[in-house]
Structure 1
């Protein structure tokens, strides 16, 4: 009888020790000072191989196949994005262009994603022989859209999300630069820009200034060869409209500035150079001087 009690006591102690070591093992696998209740959450990211085979012990939402494939997809898209950027940036630098990174708001990002998606499909000529850089830009944009969607699904608003905002806003500048360099002769800049509100100054630049993303659009204009003084004069003109009629007045903008900015257009707005420039336009002009 004493022997049975002794064996029973030993088995209980072994069971308790085993449970404790299992808990320690699970946490140690991921990072040491993590409370035991967080082990399942950490396991979502990288579930140990030996535990992953025991499907009955894994909650449905923490199975390795789901979470690891998602992580792999994000990592693959991120690496592909970086590779494409290195290639494209080398191309831009070889042609003496200067591409900058700018952050977009989430709302503006969605709008520009749509524009860029249409843009990439629209600028590629139908002939089989297409500029390698343009094809690469199309592939890169597709990868970045995948990357952005995965990040959105992950509800990640940290460094990854910041990176994709930078990637896509820089891509905008690169695409316009590439189009100007390798665009199809029959659909070059004139017809291209008339199709997009990107190049319209009426009200659009005021809207963009309010969202603090006008510097990105201004950068693209400058990269495409727009004369800096014309852009400067246009900003002065718009600021004077603002002073006379109020910020964002559609009537003032439509009546006084009913044109599309053209590479060859002489704006003849020198008399606005002495007008008072509002703070947000001062910021834009200061940014333009960097170029």
Structure 2
């Protein structure tokens, strides 16, 4: 299969940290960080490719001042117990000028059938075991338990962020132990920044897979993978194994740099698709976080004989 012809890439320009969810109504729902970091948008379409041309609806704006007023990052939309939820991060400080790395995690709720309509209610902060920089939350259900996976800084551990997992008592409240399941330790996780962030979950072949992104957000940004047996205790750190090499990274030949902060979906043909952002140039002027050209991309991926996802390499820009 020639996956270069599957999608016109970039799928959506200037949308980083992309999240696509395919709902039981047949629609694909898309949200992502916008370059201004000031709002949350949603769009929906009946096919992945149609997301590139459908209109966005702004469902929430940042606050005027104080917490939730600066750097709205990495929203994700989930459907849980017949309601829609969006997880996102925003600065928590009352002094936004000092708040670049003072994020906390927040939740919005909507009980409308169509999340582009109705009222989104702020459910507040997802409180973790300690107050520190936290972001990039995702959620999944397994064997009747809802889990929450996120990135957070622990001042007792060198580095910028680690990955944690917890059970949830409802879509905005953690319960029980909160377990660190990954910290940056390989050389490819610590270039520029020591980062594990942007988790996304796959369940397949008797295993739970968590992809994550690491290093600085320039061309060094790449993805790693955690694996656990589906019957193991997911709240036990020893249940998780980290692959020793990155599973998705920059490709000079194809002109794709810094792929990461992904999500997973299934296309109209039942094929597995990785959704990610990347730039099509290597050199960046200024802080990479404020370069707007991390574009959303879609790519079919396969599975190897060991039942591990094989994402391949980021494909070239393509217009059909």
**Do they fold alike, i.e. is TM over 0.5?**
no
Larger radius of gyration, structure 1 or 2? 1
Q: Could you say which structure has the higher helix fraction?
A: 1
Q: Could you say which structure has the higher strand fraction?
A: 2
TM-score range relative to shorter protein: under 0.3
TM-score normalised to the size of structure 2? 0.20
